[in-house]
Amino acid sequence: MTKIYEVRGVRIGEGRPKIIVPIVGKDKKAILEKARSFEGLPIDVVEWRVDFYEDVFDISKVMDTLNELRMVLLEKPILFTFRTKNEGGEKEISMEEYTRLNKVVANSGLVDLIDVEIFSGDEIVRENIENIHGANVLVVGSNHDFHQTPEKDELLRRLQKMQEMGADIPKIAVMPQTPADVLVLLSATYEMVSCFADRPIITMSMSSKGVISRMAGEVFGSSMTFGAVGQVSAPGQIPVEKLECVLDILHNAM
Ligand SMILES: O=C1C[C@@](O)(C(=O)O)C[C@@H](O)[C@@H]1O
C-alpha cells in the first residue's frame, strides 16, 4: 500500500495529481504580489524557490518574508526549496548554509514540505532529513538532470535511493532529447510505483517534448505536477488553468 499524506487538507498520493506552483520572485514585494495573485486559481501547493530571492543568505530576512508569505497564503501548503546551482538553481550555497537554512525554516512551523537534493553527500543529506523530520515537516527528495534522460534502471536506482534515505516524496526531473526519452521516464515512473515505492513519487520529463509527463501523472504514477502562473521555474511547465483542465479530463476518464 502506498502512503497518503494529508497536508493542510491536501491529500498527496491519492486521486488527481496535485498542482504545485513555484514563486520565483527576487524580492519580498514581488514574492508577496505573486502569492496574492494565486487567489482563486487551481493550486494545491505553493513552492517558494528561495534560491531566486536576493536576500536568501540573510536568514532573518528569509524568515520575515516567509512569515508574510504564510499570512497571504493562509492554509495553503508551502514547499520550501533552495535549488542549488549544481541542480539547475540560481545560486551556489555551501552545504553547511543549506542545512542551517532548511533547519531554521523547518523549525519555524511555517512550511509543510522541504526539498532536499539527495545526491549532495549521504551524511549531510541524512542530517537534513533528520532535522526536517524532527520538526514534523515532510521531505521532498530531489534530483535533476537538465541535459539528458538516464537509463530506466538508473532512474529507478535514484528514486529508490531517495526512498531508502527517508525522503517522504522522491522526485526526479530529467531532460528528454527524443520522445523515446519521455517514454523511458514514464516507464520508470510506472515501474517504481508498481514494484518498489511505498510512498508517492513525483517525476517529470522537462521542456516541450516532455509536457505529456506533466499531465499524465495519474496514469503512470506521478502524484504531483508543477504548473505555472506567469514565469516558469523549469522548461515545460504549462499554465495552471490548462493543466487543471487536462488533469480533470484524465481523472474523470479513469
Ligand atoms: O524540482 C522541481 C521540479 C521543476 O524542476 C520542474 O521541472 O517542474 C521545477 C522546480 O521549481 C522544482 O523544484
Residues β-bridged to residue 81: 49
| Shortest-distance atom of ligand 1 to CA 235 | 7
CATH number of 5-145+211-253: 3.20.20.70
130 C-alpha to center of ligand 1: Å? 23
Rounded Cα–Cα distance for residues 60 and 87 (Å): 25
**What is the pLDDT at residue 2?**
87
- Asked whether 223 lines ligand 1 (CB < 6 A), one says no
**Which H or E element spans position 166?**
none
CA-CA distances (angstroms) from residue 226 to 86, 165, 235, 244? 20, 24, 10, 11
- Are β-strands 78-81 and 113-117 bridged in parallel, bridged antiparallel, or unpaired? parallel
As for the ipTM of the complex, it is: 0.98
149 lines ligand 1 (CB under 6 A): no
Instruction: Walk along the chain (254 residues) and give the pLDDT tens digit of each residue.
Output: 689 999 999 999 999 999 999 999 999 999 999 999 999 999 999 999 999 999 999 999 999 999 999 999 999 999 999 999 999 999 999 999 999 999 999 999 999 999 999 999 999 999 999 999 999 999 999 999 999 999 999 999 999 999 999 999 999 999 999 999 999 999 999 999 999 999 999 999 999 999 999 999 999 999 999 999 999 999 999 999 999 999 999 999 99
202 CB near ligand 1 (under 6 Å): no
Which residue ranges make up each domain of the chain?
Answer: 5-145+211-253
